[in-house]
Structure 1
Amino acid sequence: MSPDVTVLLDPGDDAVITRAALAAHDPAAGHITLRPTSGTTSDRYFAHDRLAALGKPAHRVRHVVASPSDKLPDRR
């Protein structure tokens, strides 16, 4: 069974919420705060932002595969 995931959306970009979310960032405890790159809508940037939030070297990533792969479009 997958653990529950909480997603907090802050469309108003409230500074109090942002500070609280950044203070809660603790990947070792399973808490990440993801701040999407401003002005982007690309999945590539979102994937890099997720990796950065996890402390991974996103600049070295060339391919991101989502699971389950049977849900991905066929790109042959």
Structure 2
Amino acid sequence: MLKAKVTVTLKKSILDPQGSAVEKALKSMGYPVDEVRIGKYMEVTLPEAARGNATEMMHEICRKLLSNPVIEDYRFELEDKE
């Protein structure tokens, strides 16, 4: 089996109000942070038979369901599931 570790974040050009709120809170607590951006993390398990086209399949899954390509970027890593 394969495990895809997917991270989805807002594009840099998109305002991130949740990230801004966390940034302000951290600064008010005395932490010297420059910027905070909030994202999503997902794990997708694929059958061993998908190994040949796993990268292509994950790009399709991310574009069609896990992210909104207009406002979000995604990245993923594939690894063998133990």
TM-score by length of 1: 0.26
- Greater strand share, 1 or 2? 2
Structure (1 or 2) with the larger CA radius of gyration: 2
* Higher RCO, 1 vs 2 (CA within 8 Å, ≥6 residues apart): 2
TM-score by length of 2: 0.25
